[in-house]
Amino acid sequence: MTAAPTPPSRFTRVRRLPERGAYDRATIDAILDAAPLCHIGHVIDGRPVVIPTIHWRVGDTLYWHGSSASRMLEATPGAEVCLTATLLDAYVLARSGFNHSVNYRSVMCFGRPRALAEAAEKEAALEHFIEHLFPGRWPSLRPPTAQELKATAVLSMPIDEASAKLRTDGPHDPEADLAWPVWAGLLPVFTMRGAPMPDAHTAPGTEPPQGW
């Protein structure tokens, strides 16, 4: 997956394998929407720092959030970040170690996030967050207080410098290796939803979010 690149104009610093690059917004959006989390890279005092977080997308904008007390979020607005989200789909087993690979979908977005300033803007973004994960849940929740909104930092970043990279094929063994007597093919992996586990204060008969 680390393997390299020949990117569009804006990515001159990051080469990518041309046959694995995809830059159309539909592909990028689908991967961003499917990935349950992302990793955001920051440069802090010259050092790279990569933090996992949950992102969500509304149209052309990515969002993430955290505590207003977080120094990472404080440091982020205005500074460049790289947000990368990756889904592993299968191990690709070939007849040589060299030709082993993985099928995956990954998106990399560069930009300078801004912190949402207005309580109403934050609340709208957080509603999208909850509704993206659990449609219909937001109106059923105890509404946010002014203090909670103040304590929550929400960052936004336009999706305008982004690329996708993916692999979806079986193994690519050279002809000479095809008779090697070992199992080759795809070993799929995927994310499953487990049975909901209500807490002790959830009234019997209360329904978990749809789809769980």
* Stretch 124-183 residues interacting with a second copy (CB under 8 A): 126-127, 129-130, 133-134, 137-138, 140-145, 148, 151-152, 170-171, 173, 177-183
Q: Residue holding tokens 């990279």?
A: 165
Of 22-30, 113-121, 194-202, the segment contacting a second copy by CB under 8 A is 194-202
Minimal distance, residue 84 CB to a second copy, in Å: 4
Question: Cα–Cα distance between 32 and 35 in angstroms, integer?
Answer: 5
Count of residues making up the chain: 212
**Residues binding a second copy: number (CB under 8 A):** 106
Pairing verdict, β 162-167 and 101-111: antiparallel
Among 52, 59, 78, 204, binds a second copy (CB under 8 A): 52
Minimal distance, residue 24 CB to a second copy, in Å: 20
Minimal distance, residue 118 CB to a second copy, in Å: 17
Tell me: does residue 23 bind a second copy (CB under 8 A): no
Structure tokens at 53: 């977080």
Spatial CA neighbour of 53 closest among 35, 68, 71, 27: 35
Widest pairwise Cα distance in the chain: 68
Among 28, 31, 32, 40, binds a second copy (CB under 8 A): 40
CB atoms within 10 A of CB 208: 12
Tell me: does residue 82 bind a second copy (CB under 8 A): yes
Give the DSSP letter of residue 163: E
Tell me: does residue 34 bind a second copy (CB under 8 A): no
Minimal distance, residue 193 CB to a second copy, in Å: 6
Tell me: does residue 185 bind a second copy (CB under 8 A): yes
For 26-74, the DSSP string reads HHHHHHHHH-S-EEEEEEETTEEEEEEE--EEETTEEEEEEETT-HHHH
